[in-house]
Amino acid sequence: MNFLLLVVLYMLQRRFDIPFSRVFDRKLELVLKRSHWHTANAAYLFIGITILLALLFYVALESISQDYFGLLYFFAEFLILLFLLGDSGFKEQIMQFSASAEKGDHTGAHHILSACYPTEAVYRISSPAELRYQACHWLLEESFRRYFLVIFWFALAGAPAALMVRMFEQIERRKTGGQIEIFAKVYELAAFVPSRILAFSFAFTGNFSTCYRVALEKMLDLNITAVNFLHLTAQGALGEDCRDSSDKRGSDFPQYSETTTLLTAIRELLNRSLGVWFMVLALFALAGWM
């Protein structure tokens, strides 16, 4: 049932660009603006309460799983996942950025990227090479956070787990202050396994030997973030091993001279990898494990 729900919602999201995930982000952002964690203990308490509520939510869902032939349970999970999966407008943002980059309008492309991916690294961009690097980062990170991370935790532990991880993901992305490192560690912990699985699916859908070597060497490295790990393995999957480059931004995907072509190649790699994920999940569903 969960597999069918994932497939249906993914197809609806791709077809109609459903905006509910953005609604979830905005509502959570309003809550975060009113929240203050001045001490590490307060941050840990918030995390503990969130995990406890997710467990209680899971128990509540399981208690209605047999009511009305499971339709109530199915509807509840459908509604939750509707607010978690996907990123409304992301495809159009990529197209706008690509159009500006293709025309050589690096200033316009930078403005688009800054609005869509407001990170400190993006604000500090000072060259077309750095702009290209951060655009790849943006595409990989948004796709991972909005699709692969949600799908992994939903398949593993249901809607409550996916909801909890998306909350931590948004807190890590948006919250500022002295305790942000705690939430960053929680997010990286939640992203560790799915990012490694995605990297190996890159290997099966791209250049296997190069990607596999990079993934195998870096997969247990706790000092590399999930998105940086995916960036390195995506480079390997598209044919380049840039682990030893002294200038990662300057040598980023050197076999692709055009930024637009590069972003298209990464999107195709992500789509192929998602296809692998769905095939594996289908096998789990047939085996009765999902």
Q: Which pLDDT tens digit goes with each residue over 154-183?
A: 999 999 999 999 999 998 887 655 667 888
To the question of pTM greater than 0.85 for the whole model, the response is yes
Is the pLDDT score of 145 beyond 50?
A: yes
- How high is the pLDDT of residue 242? 56
Q: How many CA atoms lie within 13 A of 206 on its CB side?
A: 30
Cβ-count burial 41-64 (b if 16+ within 10 Å, e if not): eebeebbeebeeebeebbeebeee
Cβ–Cβ under 8 Å, residues 194 and 152: yes
pLDDT > 70 in the chain, percent? 91
Secondary structure in 3-state letters for 100-156: HHHCCCHHHHHHHHHHHCCCHHHHCCCCHHHHHHHHHHHHHHHHHHHHHHHHHHHHH
Residue 247's pLDDT is 43
Separation between Cα atoms, residue 169 and residue 138, nearest integer Å: 15
